[in-house]
Amino acid sequence: MRRRDLLIAAGLLVAGFAAPVSAQPGTIAVENAWAPPTPGASKTAAVYFTVINRGGTPDRIVGAATPAAEHADMHTTIRDGDIMRMRRVVSVEIPAGGKAVFAPNGFHVMLTGLKAPLKMGDKLQVTLKFAEAGDVPVVVTVRR
């Protein structure tokens, strides 16, 4: 139940901002993929997006990869009392006919070991790995 509540809250945060950025022909579409610019020499960044499953069966994101960083891992942010904590997740389900929202203070793809700082207007390639749909390339725009 808690995961569903996080998805709903994250969906409400970005509901008005979804614009197609990249899509996989077929049942999986990825919209509004973005990352904030990195301050100074930071080697980490978060990537946010919305995945829409137009198919009749559920699918799961089981990983991510990018040439822009050494690692790309999925995380969620949870409240632990007065503290927000980040936790790694192995997969995120996208229900049939539903969506999963990756947004600040919720699910995100954490890039570690960035090879270069992310600057406003930059674009980077991230590949989302799905259990059923396979690899889906996504173009991520660096913006605020």
Q: What is the pLDDT of residue 63?
A: 98
CB-CB contact of 126 with 34 (8 Å): no
Residue 108, phi then psi, degrees to nearest 5: -160, 160
Task: For the chain, give the mean pLDDT.
Answer: 86
Q: Has domain 2-142 been given CATH number 2.60.40.1890?
A: yes
pLDDT at residue 116 is higher than 70: yes
Type and span of the H or E element at 3: helix 2-14
pLDDT at residue 45 is higher than 50: yes
Alpha carbon distance 138, 30 (integer Å): 7
Q: What is the arithmetic mean of pLDDT over 105-130? A: 97
Alpha carbon distance 114, 4 (integer Å): 31
User: Minimal CA–CA distance to 75: which of 32, 43, 45?
Assistant: 45
Token pair, residue 142, equals: 């660096």
Q: What is the pLDDT of residue 75?
A: 97
Higher pLDDT, 127 or 23: 127
pLDDT confidence band for 40 (50 / 70 / 90): confident
Q: What is the pLDDT of residue 41?
A: 85
Count CA atoms within 13 Å of residue 75 on its CB side. 21
Q: What is the pLDDT of residue 15?
A: 37
Alpha carbon distance 93, 109 (integer Å): 14
Q: What is the pLDDT of residue 2?
A: 46
Q: Give the tens place of pLDDT for each residue, 4-25.
A: 444 444 443 333 333 333 333 4
Q: What is the pLDDT of residue 13?
A: 39
Residue boundaries of the structural domains of the chain: 2-142
Alpha carbon distance 43, 27 (integer Å): 34
pLDDT at residue 132 is higher than 70: yes
